């Protein structure tokens, strides 16, 4: 009996010792190398911590004042363990800030996000895939939309182009708008949140790709499979795959990895192309619709943009890319419907191409002119070229 009592006392004592143990803390320094203020998501490599120390614990982020920030663990290699910890920073020009990564007893200790990123497969709307953050929303088209076109039935769309949903609220609208469409309403009319009045059709929309060869653009059809890697308050990542498609006698296998972060106007797109022979390029398009807008290209900063009148407002669309990866920019215009585009003809020698597709709607209140929009693009390009620096203090 005494041995049982002693064992119980040891277990209780160990539990009290564990519960009284001070949480471990790691300090990280985040530095802005630019003469430009910035707010963006940064990624801390969890492997920089002592894995034995934080195993089985939750991690939180605090700023220098002790405030707990919204954070998001990300499992990159799909092994059930966090590889990255995301959090948002706001830095003045050349500013350095310290943050602490600390153990937390439970997820309940973390801050609940009021804003978020989001993406999902939409089977109730002919297999769309849609994604958004607090500023913009996008969608592209799936196998059911292609089947309807192939079988000459109404309601389908045959395109691997990217659609822009023009939102002017910071909360999620994807589910709400699709529900509106299901219940007899429409998201093609602005009831105060925004609308979908951006036409894609057979075009590249805002950032669809192809291969330019023999004075023609070869493109894939609708995506066939999807996989979401992470869906959270700060970052959402997913992949779309496409049926093999042809560029003359070259067969192309394509996977599109898309990332959208909180607080910006763009999606990051990583094209993973596996062709049967080397491709001459990967060409990224921005549709010119009726060609009544203004065009500007900045080869130094690596972007091309179109500012067009759209109903009662204006819309700026753009593609940004590392200038070192560009073969040329091309303004291609034709009388054929949906086929006039601004093209970024990018190098594809290694099969992988990374770029950003972005849009800014005047009615959303952030950009009131083409000049304001292109100034923003220059700032984005500068931030992409000089990312924030993260250092762990031992």
**Both 101 and 126 in a single domain?**
no
The pTM score is 0.92
pLDDT tens-digit map of 325-347: 999 999 999 999 999 999 999 99
Q: Comparing 12-16, 228-232, 362-366, which segment has the lowest mean pLDDT?
A: 12-16
- Domain of 306, in residue numbers: 118-385
Tell me which of 7 and 311 has the higher pLDDT. 311
Using a pLDDT cut of 70, give the percent of the chain over it.
90
Q: What is the pLDDT of residue 108?
A: 58
**Both 29 and 124 in a single domain?**
no
Average the pLDDT over 215-226 and give the result. Answer: 97
Give the pLDDT band of residue 300 (cuts 50, 70, 90): very high
Among candidate residues 60, 85, 111, the one where a domain is terminated: 111
**Both 126 and 232 in a single domain?**
yes
**Both 131 and 79 in a single domain?**
no
Q: What is the pLDDT of residue 182?
A: 87
Using a pLDDT cut of 90, give the percent of the chain over it.
82
**Both 155 and 256 in a single domain?**
yes
**Both 228 and 209 in a single domain?**
yes
Q: What is the pLDDT of residue 181?
A: 86
Tell me which of 106 and 129 has the higher pLDDT. 129
Q: Residue by residue, what is the 3-state secondary structure of the chain? A: CHHHHHHHHHHHHHHHHHHHCCCCEEEEEEECCCCCCEEEEEEEEHHHCCHHHHCCCEEEEECCCCCEECEEEECCCCCCCCCEEEEEEEECCCCEEEEEEEEECCHHHCCCCCCCCEEEEEHHHCCEEEEECCCCEEEECCHHHHHHHHCCCCCCCCCCCEEEEEECCCCCCHHHHHHHHHCCCCCCCCCCCEECCCCCCCCCEEEEEEEEECCEEECCCCEEEEEEEEECCCEEEEEEEEEEEEECCEEEEEEEEEEEECCCCEEEEEEEEEECCCCCCEEEEEECCCCCCEEEEECCCCEEEEEEEECCEEEEEEEECCHHHEEEEEEECCCCCCCCEEEEEECCCCCEEEEEEEEEEHHHCCCCCHHHHHHHHHHHHHHHHCCCEEEEEC
């Amino acid at each position: 009996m005494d041995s049982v009592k002693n064992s119980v006392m040891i277990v209780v004592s160990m539990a009290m010792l564990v519960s009284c143990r001070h949480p471990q803390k790691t300090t990280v320094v985040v530095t802005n190398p630019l003469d430009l203020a910035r707010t963006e998501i940064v990624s801390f490599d969890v492997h920089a911590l002592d894995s034995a120390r934080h195993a089985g614990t939750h991690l939180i982020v605090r700023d220098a004042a002790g405030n707990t920030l919204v954070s998001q663990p990300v499992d990159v290699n799909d092994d059930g363990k966090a590889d990255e910890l995301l959090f948002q920073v706001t830095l003045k020009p050349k500013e350095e800030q310290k943050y602490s990564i600390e153990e937390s007893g439970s997820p309940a200790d973390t801050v609940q996000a009021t804003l978020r990123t989001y993406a999902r497969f939409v089977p109730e709307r002919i297999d769309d895939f849609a994604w958004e953050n607090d500023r913009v929303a996008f969608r592209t088209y799936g196998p059911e939309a292609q089947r309807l076109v192939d079988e000459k039935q109404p309601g389908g769309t045959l395109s691997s182009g990217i659609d822009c949903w023009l939102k002017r609220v910071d909360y999620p609208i994807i589910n709400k708008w699709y529900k509106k469409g299901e219940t007899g309403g429409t998201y093609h009319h602005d009831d105060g949140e925004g609308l979908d009045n951006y036409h894609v059709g057979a075009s590249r929309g805002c950032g669809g790709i192809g291969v330019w060869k023999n004075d023609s653009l070869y493109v894939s059809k609708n995506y066939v499979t999807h996989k979401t890697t992470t869906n959270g308050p700060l970052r959402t990542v997913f992949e779309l795959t496409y049926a093999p498609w042809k560029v003359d006698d070259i067969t192309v296998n394509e996977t599109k990895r898309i990332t959208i972060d909180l607080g910006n106007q763009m999606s990051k797109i990583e094209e993973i192309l596996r062709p049967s022979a080397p491709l001459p390029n990967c060409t990224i398009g921005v549709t010119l619709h009726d060609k009544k807008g203004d065009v500007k290209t900045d080869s130094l900063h690596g972007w091309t943009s179109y500012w067009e009148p759209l109903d009662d407002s204006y819309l700026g669309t753009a593609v940004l890319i590392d200038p070192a990866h560009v073969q040329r920019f091309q303004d291609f215009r034709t009388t054929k419907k949906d086929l006039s585009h601004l093209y970024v003809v990018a190098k594809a020698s290694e099969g992988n191409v990374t770029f950003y597709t972005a849009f800014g709607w005047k009615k959303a209140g952030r950009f009131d002119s083409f000049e304001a929009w292109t100034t923003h693009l220059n700032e984005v390009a500068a931030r992409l070229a000089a990312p924030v620096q993260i250092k762990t203090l031992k």
